[in-house]
Structure 1
Amino acid sequence: MHPRSAWHEKAEGGSAARDPAFRGLYLSAALAEIPRLLGAVDRNPYRATYGCLDRQYWHYRTSSFPSEMYQEGVLPLALVCATRLPENRWYGNARVRELAVAGIRFAARASHADGSCDDYYPFERALGAAVFSLQATARAYQLLEMDDPDLVAWFRLRADWLIAHEESGRLSNHQALAALGLLRVAQITGSERYRDAAEARTERVLGWQSEEGWFEEYGGADPGYQTVTIDCLAKIRRITADQRLDEPLRRAVDFTRLFLHPDHSYAGEYGSRGTYHFYPHGMELLAAQSGSAADLADGFLKSLRTGTQAHFSDDRMFAHRPANLIEAYLDWSPVRPADPEETEPTRYLRGAGLLVRREGRRHTVISAARGGVFKHFTPGRAPVTDAGLIVQTVDGRVAVSQWHDPARHVDFRPAESKQAPACLSVSGPLDWARFETATPLKQALLHLGMCSVGRFLRTLVRRLLQERLITGRRACPIRLTRAFELLPGPESGDGPSLRVRDTIELTSPKIRVRRMAFGTDHQAAYVAASGVYQPSVLAPWVDLAPYVDELNARRRVTVLREL
């Protein structure tokens, strides 16, 4: 028996009811995706691909191997088959159960002999796909009350591979998923070895948590992926009753609450990975004890009602969410702490490189770590998103200011009075952007290399690709200095509440600019979960054509905006 934590005791001091009318939005959003899942899975038991959810592989035949990330879709199928839910026409359906089981078995069958699996290229042995699919297939196995020694042997094989292997880069959400998957395997097998391994991965995640509350994602704070990590840790907390998770979860959720916007949208371009992810189940598990978690869950539900949520609608991404939505519905908390969470109106989180102002319906988030990428909300006006400066030079190359770099020169001055508002400035060079896509030759060489010697150099290949597509930077001789003033502004929304002064400098006599803009939704580094639809992405880019000639002639130009 674990003693109750101070967090839980505090929550019992006073609670308030939540609106039950919103709860069903979780379920309706999830059930709307089930037909798509049933269309994605190979339903023909006479084919070797029976149970595969990667339609590019088994149906279109445009991929030469199956990505196991898609097998995450077995969990929502198992949930709707095994759980009596309102408007759930798939409950108890024998064919849906059969397909969920087939999906688990295909995941096992498509794995390598050592238990690993692939995602983007053959013999990748991707830890990300391994942990997403493991926790989903293991949970589906439990929900369907299966008893299959062959699958248990596969779960052990996958868990053993996870214990013995790492991935390059610090991705807290992957490690949290690994911990949850290992814990599920421990429940299925009864093995303390896997329980100990799950605890070790959990401790690693906690060790990667900043004092500000965020979990590291490629060297920075990403509010979107933060919710994935919280979701896993909250599930682990419920399974293990380990109160040591309470304080890290409290700090994590309080940090996350800062990025719920007034229109109920969440996160975005200013995160280290620029994602819009929101996993609500972990918030529901914590909502009775945490006002911040309840605010986040209620905000997400309101976004489902108003359409301001992010839409993860492509074939690869959509399977991430339905199971989590169903779990959030099942564990919806009818109560929350009565007292609102207190927070400073303006906070500069130096470790994350994020400045947050929250004053009533006025909300501004600025990422100094990403060169001044920002979102700005003010009453009665359309939200403003600025993903940074993007420039094309006369030789056709493209450079951006948004690359994540916590080492940028930053100066923050807190507000002293209405006449001396809070100010932040950030400066640094732009970086060349590749926007690289595959070609038949590059794909052929990569696949040939992986099928020959690359399979023995898994980590080296991953590091090289990470450097080329994600973390690698090449400075450009163009410099941007972005200075912000957080103006008081009237509560009515009339008049400016944010002043932005951009100074663009050409630092080489050889560089000349063809065109430039302040983009609203571009992403330079490769991020699987970026580039999804959310209403703010339709905001027009700010074309800087009127400034190009002056910049080329004088080598420096300043653009002033009041928003």
Structure 2
Amino acid sequence: MQKYMDFINKTVPKVLTQVDRDRHSPTYGCCDRNFWHLKIRDFSSAILQQTGLSIALLTTVPYPGNVFYGREDVKDWARASVYYWEKIQLKDGSFNEYYPFEHGFPPTAFSLYSSCETYKRLNMDEPKLTEAFSRTGKYLASHRETEAYNQEMASITALYSLYTITKENWVLSAVNRKLLLLLEVQSEDGFFPEYGGADIGYLSVFFDMMAEYYWMSRDERVLKPLEKILSFLLFFIHPDRTAGGEYGSRNTTYFLPNGLEVMRQLGYPEAEAARDWLFEDADKTGFFMDSVDDRYCSHYLLHSFLRALEKEIQGGATCTEKVVLPFHAGKSTYFSDAGFWSHSEWIERGIPVYMIVGARKGGVLKLYGKGEQVFADFGYRVNYGKGKIAVTNWQDPSYIVKQKGNSLTVSGHFNLVTLKVGSPFLHLGLRAVAFVAGNKIIRFLKKKIILVDKHTDIAFRRKITFQDGVLQIEDEIESPKPVCLEGADSPSVRHVASGKFFSISDLCFHDCKSYGNSKKFYIKKKYDCQSGRFIENEELK
């Protein structure tokens, strides 16, 4: 219980600050501070209305030191958030997140779930709201998300929450139809795709939503998928009590707890082991989720912690079986669908070293020893100027990957990415397009800033070997024209709204040096985990 409470207690004040709590304000209940208070936006981002569920949970979950429990004035804030949600609903039942007239899928799915749950928890009874819920439900029933599957799972959970209110058969039919299509997508590795690959943070969101759906419905069709997700996620919990990162398709570095708590309550000891390890330092400076920004704390993060805490209080299950997490296992595992290679070795008694490689990201890797991250390598960049960068660390299904024993080889071509900068004219144009085309603007923007697969003529080949506590990286880069090669740093150039949160690993040693101008490069690096010694032997051909 304490693990959840520590994070909740330090996060609640900054989340409540985002809410318009003035009952005489025309935006009473709005959870977008940039709109109602700072006036730097001209519409409210509906996805932030999820804060209402966090407030409702604060008033109904009795944990030690909860000064909000049972307070009617605080419940009024939560109720106001649902009324404001109804106020900003578009005619077709959808909502905006980033642009007016956007008709976005994520704000529609996540905010319906949170609004329905708030409505139920506070025993609200308002036909106007249930009519609004049904409009949004019909929108979700007729739309699917097939790139970011955490959003599709959220829509299913939201629809089921709506069903518990209305008991209408069309809602349950939509849940079943969408769920059957969703379950077909799970990979053999256990993950559900996020923009062409596996991503740990967003998979934890999916895990949360699917586990919550099971908790409400007891639908046994999702138990095996939940088990597979759990088994997969365990490999990407790190010795330094962090999870995920640059090797994932969307680079996320957070982990929602509710999925783990549901599985723990169902008697899975590995879920308890993962929970206890990840959230042990929640009360300390440097806890890995302290860098999550206010937006995502207001989004799904805080209410995931509160829902997990509620289940622990109500259930109180404790697993007696002790489980060793994969980084302690002393073995090598390759996930071929995800392109993830995890490798654990014991270099001396009681001290494991653990490496994770993202092969589909060009062989980016993170290395851990003595309970902390000791080394990282994120590939290479060529900077063409004016925001154009060629990179190896791009999620690319065309990379050729071969993994055998203690080595992995990946080869392919650098991808060219143009970093976008906003401007008044650009935003004016986007709004005009959104007014005419509605949610088609989302597909356009995804192609421009997320799903950018443009190969250059610069080829690379990387070989990674790990044996007897020594990591060796051999890179060959060849270009028809001379290029200035640089080591890449940790921030990915793929746009991810919940990415680029600061992490202590940003300070970890990794190669950002310039290798000069040439057509061919051969770069060899070694890291000795026993001594902590790094050796580089650079050779220009």
Same fold (TM over 0.5): yes
Which residue matches 2:471? 498
Which residue matches 1:364? 355
Residues of 2 paired with 1:394 and 1:125: CA distance? Answer: 35
Kindly indicate whether residue 34 of structure 2 is the aligned counterpart of residue 56 of structure 1: yes
In the alignment, structure 1 segments of 5+ residues that lack a partner are 1-22, 415-421, 490-496
Which residue matches 1:548? 516
- Alpha-carbon deviation of 1:83? 2.5
Residues of 2 paired with 1:27 and 1:155: CA distance? Answer: 31
Kindly indicate whether residue 445 of structure 2 is the aligned counterpart of residue 465 of structure 1: yes
For each residue in 1:503-523, what CA deviation from the matched residue of structure 2 results, as whole angstroms up to 9, or x when unmatched? 2222x22x431x51231x211
Which residue matches 1:559? 524
Residue identity opposite 1:72 in structure 2: Q
For each residue in 1:412-462, what CA deviation from the matched residue of structure 2 results, as whole angstroms up to 9, or x when unmatched? 122xxxxxxx110101111122221211110111112222x223xx23x22
- Which one of 59, 65, 83 corresponds to residue 43 of structure 2? 65
Residue identity opposite 2:394 in structure 1: W
Matched residue SS, 1:257:
helix
Which residue matches 2:255? 278
Kindly indicate whether residue 323 of structure 2 is the aligned counterpart of residue 340 of structure 1: yes
Residues of 2 paired with 1:394 and 1:446: CA distance? Answer: 25
- Which one of 252, 259, 264 corresponds to residue 287 of structure 1? 264
- Alpha-carbon deviation of 1:356? 0.9
- Alpha-carbon deviation of 1:390? 2.1
- Alpha-carbon deviation of 1:342? 8.5
Which residue matches 1:402? 393
In 1, are the aligned partners of 2:380 and 2:391 still within 8 Å (CA)?
A: yes
For each residue in 1:116-169, what CA deviation from the matched residue of structure 2 results, as whole angstroms up to 9, or x when unmatched? 1001111110111111111111111111111111111111111011112234x4
- Alpha-carbon deviation of 1:204? 2.6
Which residue matches 1:310? 289
For each residue in 1:175-200, what CA deviation from the matched residue of structure 2 results, as whole angstroms up to 9, or x when unmatched? 11111100110001121221222232
Residues 223 and 395 (structure 1), Cα distance of their counterparts in 2 relative to 1, 3 Å cut: closer
In 2, are the aligned partners of 1:311 and 1:532 still within 8 Å (CA)?
A: no
In 1, are the aligned partners of 2:31 and 2:48 still within 8 Å (CA)?
A: yes
Residues of 2 paired with 1:29 and 1:406: CA distance? Answer: 37
- Alpha-carbon deviation of 1:287? 1.4
In 2, are the aligned partners of 1:142 and 1:188 still within 8 Å (CA)?
A: yes
Residues of 1 paired with 2:442 and 2:360: CA distance? Answer: 25
Residue identity opposite 1:499 in structure 2: Q
Which residue matches 2:462? 482
Kindly indicate whether residue 221 of structure 2 is the aligned counterpart of residue 241 of structure 1: no
> Which one is further off, 383-392 or 427-436?
383-392
Which residue matches 1:516? 486
Kindly indicate whether residue 191 of structure 2 is the aligned counterpart of residue 214 of structure 1: yes
For each residue in 1:486-527, what CA deviation from the matched residue of structure 2 results, as whole angstroms up to 9, or x when unmatched? 1122xxxxxxx3111122222x22x431x51231x2111111
Residues of 2 paired with 1:251 and 1:54: CA distance? Answer: 36
Residue identity opposite 1:375 in structure 2: K
In 1, are the aligned partners of 2:378 and 2:487 still within 8 Å (CA)?
A: no
- Alpha-carbon deviation of 1:51? 0.9
Q: CA RMSD in A?
A: 2.0
Kindly indicate whether residue 129 of structure 2 is the aligned counterpart of residue 151 of structure 1: yes
How many pairs align?
Answer: 514
For each residue in 1:10-44, what CA deviation from the matched residue of structure 2 results, as whole angstroms up to 9, or x when unmatched? xxxxxxxxxxxxx2120121132222232211123
Which residue matches 2:535? none
Query: In the TM superposition, what are the counterparts of 1:346-425 in structure 2 within 5 Å?
Result: 346-359=332-345, 361-379=352-370, 382-393=373-384, 397-414=388-405, 422-425=406-409
Matched residue SS, 2:319:
strand
Matched residue SS, 1:309:
coil
Residues of 2 paired with 1:543 and 1:176: CA distance? Answer: 38
For each residue in 1:518-553, what CA deviation from the matched residue of structure 2 results, as whole angstroms up to 9, or x when unmatched? 31x2111111111112221222542322x214xx2x
In 1, are the aligned partners of 2:367 and 2:376 still within 8 Å (CA)?
A: yes
Which residue matches 1:539? 508
In 1, are the aligned partners of 2:354 and 2:369 still within 8 Å (CA)?
A: yes
In 2, are the aligned partners of 1:481 and 1:503 still within 8 Å (CA)?
A: yes
Residues of 1 paired with 2:185 and 2:133: CA distance? Answer: 27
Which residue matches 1:182? 159
For each residue in 1:45-97, what CA deviation from the matched residue of structure 2 results, as whole angstroms up to 9, or x when unmatched? 33331111111111111112111011011111011112322111111222211
Matched residue SS, 1:295:
helix
In 2, are the aligned partners of 1:394 and 1:512 still within 8 Å (CA)?
A: no
Residues of 1 paired with 2:278 and 2:176: CA distance? Answer: 30
Kindly indicate whether residue 275 of structure 2 is the aligned counterpart of residue 297 of structure 1: yes
Residues of 2 paired with 1:91 and 1:224: CA distance? Answer: 30
Residues of 2 paired with 1:281 and 1:392: CA distance? Answer: 41
Which residue matches 1:429? 413
For each residue in 1:345-367, what CA deviation from the matched residue of structure 2 results, as whole angstroms up to 9, or x when unmatched? 11111111111113452211101
> Which one is further off, 386-395 or 116-125?
386-395
Residue identity opposite 1:301 in structure 2: F
In 1, are the aligned partners of 2:237 and 2:243 still within 8 Å (CA)?
A: yes
- Alpha-carbon deviation of 1:477? 2.7
In 2, are the aligned partners of 1:409 and 1:427 still within 8 Å (CA)?
A: yes
Residue identity opposite 1:314 in structure 2: D
- Which one of 206, 215, 233 corresponds to residue 256 of structure 1? 233
For each residue in 1:252-294, what CA deviation from the matched residue of structure 2 results, as whole angstroms up to 9, or x when unmatched? 1001101011111111111111112311111111115223212
Matched residue SS, 2:282:
helix
Residues of 2 paired with 1:249 and 1:165: CA distance? Answer: 24
Residues 395 and 466 (structure 1), Cα distance of their counterparts in 2 relative to 1, 3 Å cut: closer
Residue identity opposite 1:373 in structure 2: V
Which residue matches 1:102? 80
Residues of 1 paired with 2:103 and 2:372: CA distance? Answer: 48
In 2, are the aligned partners of 1:290 and 1:337 still within 8 Å (CA)?
A: no
Instruction: Give me the identity figure in percent.
Output: 27
> Which one is further off, 251-260 or 235-244?
235-244
Going by fraction, where is strand more abundant, 1 or 2?
A: 2
- Alpha-carbon deviation of 1:321? 1.4
Residues of 1 paired with 2:334 and 2:22: CA distance? Answer: 56
In 1, are the aligned partners of 2:89 and 2:95 still within 8 Å (CA)?
A: yes
- Which one of 56, 60, 66 corresponds to residue 78 of structure 1? 56
- Alpha-carbon deviation of 1:236? 1.6
- Alpha-carbon deviation of 1:315? 3.0
- Which one of 76, 79, 92 corresponds to residue 114 of structure 1? 92
Residues 90 and 381 (structure 1), Cα distance of their counterparts in 2 relative to 1, 3 Å cut: closer
In 1, are the aligned partners of 2:472 and 2:524 still within 8 Å (CA)?
A: no
